[in-house]
Structure 1
Amino acid sequence: MEQRYQLVYKKTKTYRVDYTYDNRQRSQVDLWLALPAPSMTQRSIRILSQTTPRETALLPTGNPLAYYEVGTGQRVVLSFSFDAYETRLVPAKTAEDQTDGETAGAAVLTDEERQFYLRSTPLVPVNEDIRDEALRIVGDAREPIEQARRLFDHIVAHYRYHWPPTERGALAMRCHKKGDCGEFSFLFAAYCRALGIPCRTVIGAWAAGKFQAHAWNEFFVDGVGWIPVDASVAAAMKNPLKQLAFVTRYGTRSSGRRYFGSLEGKRVIFSFDSSLPLIPAYPDDTQPPVPAGYQSFMVGGEMLAWGYRSQQGTAPYLQPAYVRFAGKPEPASVADYMGTWQVSETAFGAAASLWIKRMSFALFFLCLFSYHGLSLFHMRLEWLNTLSTAFFTLLLLTLILRREAYWVTYLFAVLMALSLFASLQLF
């Protein structure tokens, strides 16, 4: 059957990722660390430095999995660079005329891959309730891309972005009608799989400095490939302030609807999918009882002592790591459970413009709020208003240079200009 759509890829930037895990506990920590796997949006992966693992295995997703036994005070490091690619889903005839991007060849999954990305997991359950609801949502749509589009539109319209979530998983998302990027991705994957559409959660981060964890989806269509979807960003962008924050902070596209079949190429992928097997096996049978006061989380409908138990021999997800503590962790910050990472742009000009963007954004709002806050007390410091306009002008120029400006930023520019003219009594 002739395909109606095709994916087009275009290189955006080269990024460097520096990951670190420091064992601050009083005993050994076992660490399972997902190593980067190539994909159409993350290519030419170059390992720059890596602590030698005790053991390495290959996950069903194609990710190498490194295992470490980290002694007290020891550090595990992983640094790599990669070329990032933006993605666009376009009509097949349009793809033939593309001159600023490349198209992918015919894509197929093996039977084992298809089965893996259709399976039911605690975070992504596939059951009759999910299937019935998915069928109701897609209505008379029969083509997989159109079915996925209707699922995307439904989730964006009826669910709200909220962080942090109280529970993890698609069932919790259905119950509470709100969640973070993980819950959006788990629910979308569950709906797709219930309709026989292979789908996976992509676990990664924004390529925007330290940490900035994120998750999204890809669903597979024969002959087209892995089509990206980010329902959480689309839902968050219904709020104009969040839209401005996403565009300014992460360099996202300005329209939420463009996050079906399209990604901006400003992210790093750590691993694919949920409920990944831990190799070597997690020693649940020999692990002592959960210590008193150990914080547990509701994950996929069951309480999980994260970092002290596995979930049926698997890690719920690898972002990019899962750990085993010998006792109650002290300290117990996010860095002790996941490690830390920094993503930076390798080109000097790109890195400099990113720094200028963040600096001017922060100083703009600082001056703006200070000016209006002091005005409430009849202290009109016009130089603050002038400074806020100057910093916004710098921000706008940087956004234009980075191709991240959109209508809200231009509207702000007009309002700032009017405010400046008024303060200078030019009217």
Structure 2
Amino acid sequence: MKQTLERSFTKRCRWIWSFTNRQSDTVRYWLPQPIETSTQGNITCHGVSSLLQSRSSFPHDLLWADVDPGDTITINYEIDLYRLSWKGKSPSKEKETVNILSPLSEKERDFYLRSTVMSPVNEDMRQKAKKLTAGAKTEWEKIQKIYTHIVSHMNYQYPPKQRGASFMSETRRGDCGEFSLLFTSYCRSLGIPARTLFGAWANEAGPHAWNEVYYEPFGWLPVDTSIANNVKKLHNRLFLPFQMGVNGSPNRHIGESEGNRIAFSVDANLELTPSFEEVKPPEDYPDFPFGVENFYYGFQTHDGTAPYLQPGYIQFNQEPEKMKLPDILGNSNIQENGIIGKLRLLKQSSFILFLLVLFTEIAARFIPLMTFPPYVLSAAGSFFLCLYVFASLLRREGNRILLSILILVVTFFFIDQLVLLTGET
């Protein structure tokens, strides 16, 4: 059977990011300009703060600024998002020229095979990767074995106690970042180009990390081992599809994507330009293991590279007085354009109203003063639940089994109320 990889448009989103320096001293900030990936394209910049300057770099051009106390920098982009799904079987050993992207240049191949602090390529990683892919005859089988191993043997933990593939391979605990960094490390150790993407969910701006692996003839394919690991649990399999729009099957996150994520940066350990000028951190400044022990975020780098950009990296010159997340990562706001955004509002509001009606109906059974005309609450609850299911279906979000159950519940309520009303008349 001929294999094809279908790419379909899901929505256009606007990403607005801002950072306000609430410190008493000037800080320097770096941001990557988003680039096209397998699941995003048609990127349009609608505005960048005058303070931000551009520097050519690879694979991203960088924006940077020295931000004085009280100043704010902002960026504003619109990005098309795409769903990827296999039609037919998953890739076989036969190479078919279907939906192939531009072949990797020598520079690109070297870059996405390099060893980094966050995803090292060393003898230890190479031996582990060879062991877990033993018996694989093709490159795709190796990718699948790496994917299956990480999904099956790693444990999701947020927040992680350490960051980086080396720590993840030892402790087997981490969040989406560690899952992705480890996948990159194993693939590169076997000579397979891979990269870690850092971004956010498009429907709620929550941070997320995942992978792309380069496999000819299909080009860059999305891989999400942390979501695949999470949906192994029943409650996540039921509810994550509603929350994130992801597929509820652990096997559907290699080469496929739901088209509901924006990538801010492609790969960890990107070189900062202009260069980061390291200063000695204050004595009581907290350290955290970022690929190495005793890393002082904001005061040092990995040999001139940021551990990762999600979306940016900050340089402090003295001990910061403010250390909340917006003081380090800024604020991201992602808006869904067009009918998809309106359906999201309908989905959220109808679910809230359904819960309100449900709680009111429960309270009415115990509070005599709360009286309503017969069947009004049941009818209202059924109506709002119908709207929720309708909006979820149009947005292609939700677990099919749970949606089917909801539809049956709504149908039962309507029939039940109809029978009762008919009997009374």
**Band of TM-score, shorter chain:** 0.7 to 0.9
Aligned CA distance change for structure 1 residues 326 and 92 (closer, same or farther; 3 Å): same
Q: Distance in 2 between matches of 1:212 and 1:147?
A: 31
Q: Whole-Å Cα distance in 2 between the matches of residues 308 and 4 of structure 1?
A: 52
The aligned residue for residue 163 of structure 2 is 168
Residues 218, 228 of structure 1: 8 Å contact kept: yes
Q: Equivalent of 1:295, from 282, 286, 289?
A: 286
Q: CA deviation at 1:282?
A: 0.5
Please state how far the C-alpha of 1:76 moved relative to its aligned partner.
0.5
Q: Does 1:145 align with 2:143?
A: no
1:402 alignment partner in structure 2 = 395
Equivalent residue pairs, number: 413
Give per-residue Cα distances to partners, 1:181-205, cap 9 Å, x unaligned.
1111011111111111110001111
- Alignment correspondent of 2:194: 199
Q: Secondary structure of the residue that 2:191 maps to in structure 1?
A: coil
Q: Which residue of 2 aligns with 1:345?
A: 336
Q: Hey, what does 2:80 align to over in structure 1?
A: 83
Aligned sequence identity (%): 33
Match of 1:240 among 228, 234, 238: 234
CA pair 25-221 structure 1, distance change in 2 beyond 3 A: same
| Residues 109, 222 of structure 1: 8 Å contact kept | no
Deviation by residue 1:45-86 (Cα, 9 ceiling, x = unmatched): 11101113554223322x110110111111111001122121
What SS does the aligned partner of 1:262 have?
A: coil
- Give 1:380 shift: 11
| Distance in 2, Cα, partners of 1:65 & 1:264 | 28
CA distance in structure 2 between the partners assigned to 1:18 and 1:106 by the alignment:
29
Q: How far, CA to CA, are the matches of 2:305 and 2:334 in structure 1?
A: 27
How far does residue 149 in structure 1 lie from its aligned partner after superposition?
Answer: 1.2
Conserved 8 A contact 1:33-1:66: yes
User: Does 2:27 align with 1:29?
Assistant: yes
What secondary structure is seen at the aligned counterpart in 2 of 1:263? coil
TM-score by length of 1: 0.87
Q: Which amino acid aligns with 2:402?
A: V
Report the Cα distance in structure 2 between the residues aligned to 1:327 and 1:364, rounded to whole angstroms. Answer: 51
TM-score where L is the length of structure 2 = 0.87
Within 5 Å, give how 1:206-285 maps onto structure 2: 206-209=201-204, 211-284=205-278
**1:268 Cα deviation from its structure 2 partner:** 0.9
Does the Cα contact within 8 Å between 2:244 and 2:397 map onto a contact in 1? no
Structure 2 unaligned segments of length 5 or more: list them: none
Aligned equivalents of 1:370 and 1:244: distance in 2? 26
Aligned to 1:358: 348
Cα distance in 2, alignment partners of residues 146 and 244 from structure 1: 29
Q: Choose from 68, 71, 85 the match for 2:68.
A: 71
CA offset digits 1:268-326 (Å, max 9, x no partner): 11111011111011001xx2x31243222111132221122222211001111100122
| Letter paired with 2:341 | A
SS at match of 1:153: helix
Q: What stretches of structure 1 of length at least 5 have no aligned partner?
A: 96-101
Give the aligned partner of residue 313 of structure 2. 322
Contact 1:7 1:225 in 2 (8 A): no
- Please list the CA deviations of residues 146-171 of structure 1 after superposition, one character each: whole Å capped at 9, or x if unmatched: 21112111211122222111111112
Is contact 1:247–1:253 with CA below 8 Å preserved after alignment? yes
* Cα distance in 2 between the residues matched to 1:91 and 1:54: 47
Which protein shows a greater Rg? 2
Deviates more, 1:336-345 or 1:399-408: 399-408
The answer (yes or no) to whether the contact 2:54–2:61 under 8 Å persists in 1 is yes
